[in-house]
Amino acid sequence: MQTPRLKITFLGTGTSSGVPMIGCSCKVCVSTNKKDNRLRSSILVQSATTSFVIDTTPDFRYQMLRANVQQLDAVLFTHPHKDHIAGLDDVRAYNFFNHKPMELYANSLTEEAIKREFAYAFSDKKYPGIPNLNINTIDNNPFYIGDVFIQPILVWHIKMPVLGFRMGDFTYITDANKIEADELKKIIGSKVLVLNALRKEKHISHFNLNEAVALAQQLQIPKTYFTHLSHQMGLHAEVSAELPEGIFLGWDGLEIEM
């Protein structure tokens, strides 16, 4: 299948607490470099005819305003943790202006959490103005959102299954610390990989910096950008200077066209 030209915008590149972290006065959290300020992790994917986000973070409203997103066709979810679904209620603005439900794409685990956390949106008697949502249940099988062909990639967040996604030559993976061999094969050949790298120290459920670098090099991806970064990673400028060729820290507002 022919993949349309895509524009990817990094709406947020921070971990669940964001950067700066509340109450913290470390050198990263007080940095005046805009690249050290990170909203919770999400991206906007746009083709000529289709626009969708991956995850609705607690910062979703501000992310949409900051990126001036006038049209949104769908939301694609990676997993049900709060920092990836909590902003869902604010899609109702798009319901109002577009006069149609927001199409959601989620695995059964995430669908269950959405229906539990936003039960009012699925009740028989709906209060005026609540979000109008239509859930499409997905698994490991490929599917389309508009004209964008999407191949899910199963990764593991300790014991929680999380979905990464490949769209043409672009692959996005967040909240993972293990990817099995058969799923790694789905990533090979990507020209751009976005991968979570929480910090330099070992972590129970996320790749650390060394693990993420090793995986990107193993897969021989020409360009890899790290996301879901905590303040413990260090200053953007200092860490960036230490990274191998072709590997970068992502930052909020970064745009990639491919």
Please write the tens of the pLDDT for every residue from 192-243: 999 999 999 999 999 999 999 999 999 999 999 999 999 999 999 999 999 9
- Find the range with the poorest average confidence among 47-56, 118-127, 162-171, 245-254: 118-127
The verdict on residue 218 lying in a domain is yes
Tell whether the model's pLDDT for residue 2 goes beyond 80. no
Each residue of 75-87: pLDDT tens digit?
A: 999 999 999 999 9
Residue 1 pLDDT: 62
What integer is the mean pLDDT of 25-40?
A: 98
Residue 126 pLDDT: 82
The verdict on residue 2 lying in a domain is no
Residue 188 pLDDT: 98
Residue 101 pLDDT: 97
The verdict on residue 178 lying in a domain is yes
What integer is the mean pLDDT of 105-114?
A: 98
The verdict on residue 1 lying in a domain is no
Contact 65, 90 (CB under 8 A): no
Tell whether the model's pLDDT for residue 52 goes beyond 80. yes
Distance of CA 93 to the CA centre of its chain: 21
**CA-based nearest residue to 196, from 167, 176, 170, 166:** 176
What integer is the mean pLDDT of 92-98?
A: 96
Q: What is the rounded CA–CA span in Å between residue 207 and residue 175?
A: 8
Residue 165 belongs to what H/E stretch?
strand 160-167
The verdict on residue 105 lying in a domain is yes
Residue 127 pLDDT: 85
Give the Cα-Cα-Cα angle 89, 60, 137 (nearest 5 degrees).
60
Strand partners, 105: 76, 136
The verdict on residue 210 lying in a domain is yes
What integer is the mean pLDDT of 10-24?
A: 98
CATH number of the domain to which 120 belongs:
3.60.15.10
Q: How many domains is the chain built from? A: 1
Range of the domain at 203: 7-257
Q: Which residue has the tokens 């360009």?
A: 223
What is the DSSP secondary structure assignment for residue 38, as one 8-state letter? B
Residue 55 belongs to what H/E stretch?
none
Residue 3 pLDDT: 79
Burial of residue 206 (number of CB atoms within 10 Å: 0-12, 13-18, 19+): buried
